[in-house]
Chain A
Amino acid sequence: MGPVELLHMSVFSQSFSPCGRFLAAGNNYGEIALFSLSAALSPDATALSQKPVLTFTAHEGPVFSLLSTNCHLLSAGNGEISAWSWNELIKKNVKPMWTKRPNYKSSLEIPEINAMIINPRDNSLVVGGGDNNIHILDLEHGVFKAVLQGHSDYVHCVSVREREGEILSGGEDGAVRMWDSRTGQSVHCIEVYKYENCARPQYGKWISCVTTDSDWMLCGGGPHLSLWHLRSLSPTSIFPLKGCQRQAVFHQDMIMSVGEGPFVSHCLLGGDIKAQIPCTPQSLNTLQFNSNSTEHRVLTVGGSSDHIDVFTNLSYRAFSLSF
């Protein structure tokens, strides 16, 4: 990997292993790198322990989404989904368990897969992609069992409302749609850009991040990052962040969000920005919190750089892992 390639690298996705000791990161060259957190966080860590223990090419196109189940790592790139066994990857054996491709209607162009999430209710994988549809893959039987149609432009992000069993999806057409996972019908459709206090016409109407914790939803992108109450479908707080947010999560009593701008924003639910912690990459694409392990509870962010920043304490950047 020459210096020019490193300069142009962007990290699009991250996922922690089920044991919590490894981090997998996917970049725009289709590679996935495995970093050992226990080596990087140990007291006698060297510069070498911040390099990957394993790097392999997973797909031909950029790896936009990574997801971990109890024993598998699912990666999406170039319109297909591959599953890798974590145990095999830790033993440096790079052979995918399976590779599947959703049924795309047009065979000329291969639409990319932008987001994946697991619906724990029926153990299915919800995949949102460039063909404006959401495909649902049953993980037990390995078949695609449903297609949710309704978006008029590609789907950026998906999320799952566990208590009600609904799937939320945000797309380029500016709509956040809520689907019932059993019937596959669109239950609600919120067009965020139509609300005056959220809309930012100078950035567009696209929604690039959707996340929910069953009662509340965060969505942002072209419009401001806003907190919505799902029962009443009304926006309750608008976060005055400059730039478009690409990923946001609920964490304890606050909201962390990353997007354009070299910082992680911590916001309170009321709409105040508590802190903006600076990071190495110029703009960030992905933010992930390691909840699988008690000793390595770190936050990692990656973006338009070959460095992945690791935060051991949420208030400052501890060190960076690099490809």
Chain B
Amino acid sequence: MGAVTDDEVIRKRLLIDGDGAGDDRKINLLLKSFSKWCNSPLTPEEGFTQYQRMLGTLAQCEFSMGKTLMVYDMNLREMENYEKIYTDIEQNITSAHEKIAECKKEILRAKRIRKNRQEYDALAKVIQQHPDRHETLKQLEALDKELQQLSHIKENVDAKLELRKKQFHVLLSTIQELQQTLENDEKSENDDNNQGSPAGNSE
């Protein structure tokens, strides 16, 4: 890896993922130190220390890789969690909308009921002002009975009057007839007397 390409790669890596540059550099250094360790003539202690150092770097790299894997897992699970919460909230919103629509319908229904009740009350007030039907019927019945009684009495009185009239008529006509008869008798007596005396006179 030349110095120029290194810079470019580092720039690109920084642009993409700044943190990864450190790990990548570590892996490159490890590779370099490994090739140096294999090729350069070193004393056994130095070689051993180099070997230990390389193992340490390797462990560091593995550790950071393990960390990134775990972070990746965590992100995935976090995303799932958020998705779940998102769908929950959406459901809540839709159910709240439905509830609002229901409540609005309820309000309209309640207003209609209240209006009907008020109309009923208003009419009831007017009706209350008029007297009770039963009482009026009873009054009417009583008046009817009185009327019947009075007309009955009137009939009786009329009948009596008629009867008396007829009786008086009979009486009066009898008296008149008698009077007539008496007058006739007197007249005929007078006539007889008159006739008798001229007749006697003429004899």
Binding site for B on A (CB under 8 A): 215-216, 227, 229, 232, 234-237, 252-254, 268-271
**Chain B residue at minimum C-beta to C-beta distance from A251:** B111
Contact B119 A234 (CB under 8 A): no
The verdict on A253 contacting B126 (CB below 8 Å), with A216-B119, A269-B119, A270-B121 known, is no
Contact B122 A237 (CB under 8 A): yes
Q: Which of B111, B114, B122 contacts A236 (CB 8 A)?
A: B122
**Chain A residue at minimum C-beta to C-beta distance from B121:** A270
**Which residues of chain A come closer than 8 Å to B112, judged between CB atoms?**
252-253
CB distance from B202 to the nearest CB of A (A): 102
Contact A236 B126 (CB under 8 A): yes
Q: Would you mind naming 11 contact pairs between A and B with Cβ atoms under 8 Å apart?
A: A229-B126, A232-B123, A236-B126, A237-B125, A252-B111, A252-B115, A253-B111, A253-B115, A253-B118, A269-B121, A270-B118
Does chain A have a CB within 8 A of B108? yes
**Chain B residue at minimum C-beta to C-beta distance from A269:** B118
| Contacts of B101-115 to chain A: CB distance below 8 A | 108, 111-112, 114-115
Interface size class of B (residues with CB under 8 A): 10 to 19
Tell me the complex Cα distance, A232–B123, Å: 10
Main secondary structure of the interface of A (DSSP, over half): strand
**Which residues of chain A come closer than 8 Å to B119, judged between CB atoms?**
215-216, 269
CB distance from B100 to the nearest CB of A (A): 14
Tell me the complex Cα distance, A236–B122, Å: 5
CB distance from B129 to the nearest CB of A (A): 9
Tell me the complex Cα distance, A253–B111, Å: 5
Contact B115 A232 (CB under 8 A): no
CB distance from A256 to the nearest CB of B (A): 13
Tell me the complex Cα distance, A269–B111, Å: 12
